[in-house]
Amino acid sequence: MTDRRAWLARLPEMRIAYFELADGYSRTPEGVLIPDWDVIGAHWDAFNDWRVRTRPALGRIDIAALGITDDEKGTLRTGVPIRGDYSPPPPARTALFTGGSYAYVYADNFDEIDEAAAAARRWIEANGFHRASGLIEAYKFHYNMDQHPCDCGYLVLNADGTEPIAAPSTHTSPLPIAKA
C-alpha cells in the first residue's frame, strides 16, 4: 500500500449531464459496495462515446467528468458539467450537483481508484470529518486520453455537521483549492 497525500478543497455547485448505472456494484453481507470494474468500465465507455459525439456545452473548464457513487442506492452517475442553458440529447439526463467540501487523493490511473479511495477514507477518519457522500471521482482535462488522472474522494462535513470550507458567497468568488 502506497502512502498517499490527501487534500481538502471545495467542489462547486454545477449542473451536470449524466448517465446512470444501477448494476455496477454488488454488496457484501455487511452492505459494503464492491465495484464490478468491467460493467463500470463499459458504462464509462458509453458515456464517453456520447460525450465525444455530442460535444455538450461545458459549464466548467477545469472538470472533464465526474463519477458519483450513491452508496445507499448502489448506483453510479457519470456526468459532465454543462451550462445552465444547455439541454443535452438523450440518453443523458440532467441534475444539479450541489458540491461541498471535498476530501480527496489523486489517482494516476484507473487501477489506482480503489487504493486512492481507501486512502481518502483513512484521512477523513484520522482528521475527524465524516463522509457526506459516496465516492466521487473528479476527472480533469488532459491531453492524453489514454490516461485517467482523477481526484478520488468524498464530500465531508465536520463532526458537528458544518462545512469545513464554506461555500463562496457568489459564483464569481474564487474557490479555495487543495487546502491540506
Question: Over pLDDT 70: what percentage of the chain?
Answer: 87
pLDDT at 130: 95
pLDDT at 171: 55
- Among the residue ranges 14-18, 77-81, 86-90, 175-179, the one predicted with the least confidence is 175-179
pLDDT at 179: 40
The sign of the dihedral angle between the CA atoms of 102, 106, 110, 113 is negative
Is pTM beyond 0.85? Reply is: no
Q: Which helix (H) or strand (E) holds 139?
A: strand 136-139
Over residues 28-41, mean pLDDT? 90
Over residues 3-16, mean pLDDT? 90
pLDDT at 176: 46
Q: Residue 164 pLDDT more than 90?
A: yes
pLDDT at 63: 79
CA 38 to chain centre: 19
Q: Which residues pair with 139 in a beta bridge?
A: 65, 150
pLDDT at 12: 87
Over residues 148-172, mean pLDDT? 84
- Give domain limits for the chain: 6-157
Number of other residues whose CB lies within 10 A of the CB of residue 60: 16
pLDDT per residue as tens digits for the range 41-94:
999 999 989 988 998 888 766 778 899 999 889 999 999 999 988 999 999 999
Please provide the CATH number assigned to the domain covering 6-157. 3.20.80.10
Report whether 115 contacts 4 (CB < 8 A).
yes
Q: Residue 19 pLDDT more than 70?
A: yes
What mean pLDDT, rounded, does the chain reach?
Answer: 85
